[in-house]
Structure formats: C-alpha cells, structure tokens
Amino acid sequence: MKQTNISIFVPHSGCPHRCTFCDQRSISGTVKAPTADDVRAVLDSQTDNLRRKDMCAEIAFFGGSFTGINRAYMISLLEAAHEYTVRFPKIYCGIRCSTRPDFINEEILDILKKYCMTAVELGAQSMNAQVLEMNERGHSPEDVENAARLIKNHGFSLGLQMMTGLYGDKPEYCTETAERFIGLKADTVRIYPTVILEGTKLGELYKSGEYSSFSFEETVILCAKLLRMFDEADIPVIRLGLHASTEVESKMLGGVYHPALREICESRIFYEDMLAEMQKLGGNSFTVVTDPANISKVTGQKKENRIKLEKLGYKFNIKNEKGTRLKVYAL
C-alpha cells in the first residue's frame, strides 16, 4: 500500500522568535489557523479518495512549531486527527508534526504519545552555534541533541530538518550538520536550501548587500554530497528543496529554488561517479550501463552531464540494464 501525507498547515502567529528566514510575521493574518473541525473536514474530503487509490496517509501538522502553539488548541487538533486514525486505521496510518527543538520536553511528548503521534520532526536548520545565533533561531545545537534523544527515547520516528546557505553559513558547516544528524540516528531528513523571501530579515540583509546565499552551482554540489552522506548512513532524505509554490516564487528575492532540485542533485552524483570511473579506466570512449529509470540523471538536465564530460574529452553511449545503477566500460 502506497503512503502519502495529508498536510495541515498550522501557522504560529504568536511566535516569539525572529528567525531571519521566516516570513510568518508577514503572512500572519493572511493564513487562517485551522480549527479541529477544519481538520475533520480535510480528512472527510480525503477518506474516499485514499480508499479508492488503496493508499494510506499520515496526517502531518507542519508549519514549524506545532508543540509551541496554544496547548488547548494543539490538543483539539490532535483529538481531531486521532479520531480519524481510530475510525479509519487502514487509511490514516499515523500523525506527524514538525516543531522547534526547544518546544520539546517530557510532558509534551507524553501528550503526543497519548494521541498516537508516530513521527516528530525538528527544525534544527544547522548544528553550527554561530549560524544559529546569526539567524536568531533562539536555540543551540545542544537543544537539538537533547530534543532528538528525548524523541527517540519516547519511541517516535525522529525527523531532522536542515537548511543550507543561511546567513554566516559555509558548506563545511552543512556537512558537519549532516554528520551530527547521522550521529543522532535520525530516521528521516529534509534538506532546504535557503530561499530569501521578501518581508524577512534575510531579505533586508540581502538587499543591503550584507548577505547572499550559496550559488545554485555550490548548492547542487553540496546537496549532492549531503544526499550521499545520508544514503551511506541509510537515512532517507524525504525532501530536498521547498515545494513548488507560486507564493514562494512571487516573494523570492534570492537563494536557491528549483522545482527539480532533487533530480539535478541526483544527476550531479551520477556525473561525479561517471567521471571517477572514466578517469580510473582511462581512454576517451565508454559505455555507460544503467537502469532505464536513471537515463535522464545519467545525461543530466539539458544534457549537462554529457556536455561537461565531453568538454573533458570523455564520450559515452548508454546501454539499458534493468536493476543496474551504474557501470562504466571502456570501449
């Protein structure tokens, strides 16, 4: 049975923090906070659809700080979601939320457990203390570690979210963050390259020339490396890059946003692997064997991999072989 998420956005309009990248302050008032009845209405509208498609769904409360919202309100949303996991256990297979590391403690986790939440994701963003401070996150790397351990100890699936290219960030800080996520035994990871939005502190810093994020090329090289690290640690990266949204596109001042970012990063991994094999084998003509599903990643977007390899003097043809990731033979 295929699994999906039914996402319910819970804005944190009373958030006391001022994260440099966040535009919640500018959107508060324009995004309505869902009531428990809104949650029920969303789930009612999806139940038959999911059943028809033979799919199950996790009910996902996202928005950044679910456990920091008003307690009675949070419980009312949980009650509504829990009701549907009890009524339709085969269709609604779990509840997940995302929150801040400093909004996690034993008491909160006990409440989440009571309503059968399955996964808790932490917006860690970076494990570099200076980057967290420069971006006014209001929590430390140690807060992330403590919260992550509590979440694991309570038996939840642990999700960790990181950003790349924040104010003061460096690629090596991002790989260090990934190493620490691996050390914390995250069950899932999301990677969000920074998108600089109008109405944010980052937007002001960007306009004044004090800050610019990593370039697109730097981000692709970095995220390809991060994908490799998590893959080797057997940790699924369940999201890379912001979801396509006209709102993001209309408010974006800079940073990295591309609807096919993950495909581009995966294609970069193929490029690096092919180049390494070709250099090892020697010569200038090769056959690349791969599963048909990988062909677009082997050639790259707009044939980018082929063009770059040809510039280095390497030509190749492609042979399909189901189930093969990548083999390279010299001709």
Q: What are phi and psi of 15, to 5 degrees?
A: -60, 130
Alpha carbon of 286 to those of 315, 316, 329: distances in Å? 6, 5, 5
Distance (Å, whole) CA 95 – CA 114: 12
Helices (H), 117-215: 129-134, 141-153, 171-183, 201-207
Give least dist CB 29 to ligand SF4, A. 14
22 or 224: whose CB is closer to ligand SF4?
A: 22
Question: Which window, 17-25, 35-43, 166-174, 270-278, contacts ligand SF4 (CB under 6 A)?
Answer: 17-25
Give least dist CB 192 to ligand SF4, A. 11
Q: Does 17 bind ligand SF4 (CB under 6 A)?
A: yes
Fill in the DSSP letter of residue 203. Answer: H
User: Applying CB under 6 A, which of residues 8, 22, 131, 298 lies at the interface with ligand SF4?
Assistant: 22
Pick from 239, 286, 290: nearest CA to 265: 239
18 or 114: whose CB is closer to ligand SF4?
A: 18
Fill in the DSSP letter of residue 33. Answer: P
User: Applying CB under 6 A, which of residues 12, 190, 201, 251 lies at the interface with ligand SF4?
Assistant: 12
Question: Which window, 9-17, 172-180, 252-260, 308-316, contacts ligand SF4 (CB under 6 A)?
Answer: 9-17
Q: Does 201 bind ligand SF4 (CB under 6 A)?
A: no
Q: Does 19 bind ligand SF4 (CB under 6 A)?
A: yes
Helices (H), 233-316: 246-251, 261-281, 295-299, 304-311
C-beta of residue 104 within 8 angstroms of C-beta of residue 122: yes
Q: Does 135 bind ligand SF4 (CB under 6 A)?
A: no
Q: Does 200 bind ligand SF4 (CB under 6 A)?
A: no
Which residues from 51-90 bind ligand SF4, rule CB under 6 A? 64-65
Q: Does 8 bind ligand SF4 (CB under 6 A)?
A: no
Distance (Å, whole) CA 99 – CA 89: 25
User: Applying CB under 6 A, which of residues 6, 8, 10, 15 lies at the interface with ligand SF4?
Assistant: 15
Q: Is 105 helix (H, G, I), strand (E, B) or coil?
A: coil
- Size of site (CB under 6 A) for ligand SF4: 10
Please give the residue ranges that form the binding site for ligand SF4 (CB under 6 A).
Answer: 12, 15, 17-19, 22, 24, 64-65, 100
